[in-house]
Structure 1
Amino acid sequence: MQLVVFILVYPLLWLISRLPFKVLYVISDMVYQLLYHVIGYRKKVVRNNLALVFPEKSDDERLHIEKEFFKHLCDIFLEMIKTLGISDKQMKKRYVFDNIEVFKELERNGKNIMIMMPHYASWEWVFSLNSYVQSKAYAIYQTIQNKYFDKLVRDIRSKYGTTLIRTNGSRKIIEDAKKRHELITVGIISDQSPMVIKAKHWATFMDILVPIHVGGEELCKTHDIVPVYLKVKKMSRGHYQGTFKVLTENPKSVENYKISEAFIRETEKSIREAPEYYFWTHKRWKHRGNAPKEFQSKTTTSTS
């Protein structure tokens, strides 16, 4: 059945990837009408998240963010498909890194780099970074249940030379790369909600106490990888700007979990600047109120 679904859907995806951007966004507008107004995909989750995070905003303000988010969600989904057919020239025009020298300087100093980013603005087109740098790129990702679509997503994301690695195999691959004295860049999205039973640290995210992922930080401290936050701004429809911010050049010297908390603080800044570009369909705050006693003093917002 998985193969049948893939065979039926793939030709449509291929056709969409060859369309001009103007036509692509007409389709995105139509998908928005269907997704938001007809299907109501995860509308309740988005609405609850916005009410939880922005209690100071009016209903009308939150509704505006909600609608703009769903429009953006449709855009980034179709932009991911467009990656199949986009040219290098188009990509460099549409996804710009405004301080690429920060990255290149780390490379010249022989530093391995971890790009830490949230589900914000565009995380699919960041793979075009390989067009500018010298290090071997890896990206940690979670598999998709349909193995054929999983392969398609891996093919799309590896278009510019990135090697995708599963979470449970990341440590060995990084260790092997270091043994080969291979200069590496590792990309990781770290804003998901971890399982409570596996949570090692809790911190406030948008003033709400929740468990946070610390796997990226642990890799940085173990293997002396420089953590770099990638701030992405949506400049206009289909145009993004990425800015690198080094969180620390000496991860081993930083107190445990401070790198992860620094990542959260940077993510918060992005969200507050333009909340409509955050991925609100995630149940990111579902574990609020379940923190162990030693962390509860960090709470700054009601968990009701």
Structure 2
Amino acid sequence: MAAGRTPPDRTWSIGELAELAGVTVKTVRFYSDRGLLPEGPRSSGGHRRYGPAALERLRTVRSLRALGLPLPDVRRVLDGDGTLEDVVAGQLRDVGSQLTALRWREAALQLLADCGPRERAERLRLVGSLATPPGTAALARFWRYWLPPRMPARVVSRVLELTVPQPPSDPTPAQVLAFARLHALVSGACDGGERPTPAAHRPDGGHRPAVLYEGLDEAYALAAPHLRAGRAPREGDALDCFVAAYARSRRLPDTPAFRDELSRVLAADPRIDRYWQLVAELSGPAHTTPGAAHDWLCAALAASAAHPAS
């Protein structure tokens, strides 16, 4: 027999197995009692005996536990109910979530450490209302409340995708503060009171909001490069697309008279500037918010209406 090979019929006592595996007798007994270690025939005195398969499995269990895998996942791997790759992938997701939560806690604590007593009380109230890491349910609820009723699910889903910012996984203290203020803003906006009603949301104006929001999505995308380049509001494809979205939603032609009326209506619509300001603080300068794109297009429309082409 080759050197170093363990005879397949070799068995060890519980103490010998523990010593070979580098664990305590208590650990071997714990795993054995839970059915994770195969036992061989007991000794004449009734004591447990373990073979090479138990030693190999015990080493595997110890390695998996050292990686933080809970016993149910260890059992899944050993019993073949789940592959090691699947279990490790699940653990990586869990660890990632834990790290994100720790980063949010660290940034929140730094936010409180970097201010005076008067600011600290306000900031503590704000960050204390957030989970770590925070979720976006309150923001989505705000938009569902603000949007007109009976919108198609696909349109609502796209609006939420564009308007609800995702919390960064590694936030700065300033981003924690921005998200906390955003959360407080939308939580207060949805607890009752008068519902904001832009003209395009009113059922008596002949509007089709779903058509409008699909068109605005394209218009905002066309306006975004102009905002990133710092260009002043101007006529062009982005503005034409913007006006066309409103015109199609009302089944009206895009005429100078329509543009003039639309400019006046949009100037009187309720605004949520604070929301978009906080989203910009949270997302950073590289991200163009729909609010910024909307303002740029409204300014371009106002300029166009004030100085129509001859």
Q: Could you state the TM-score of these two structures normalised by the residue count of structure 2?
A: 0.26
More helix by share: 2
| TM-score of the two chains, using structure 1 as the length reference | 0.26
* Larger Rg, first or second structure (1 or 2): 2
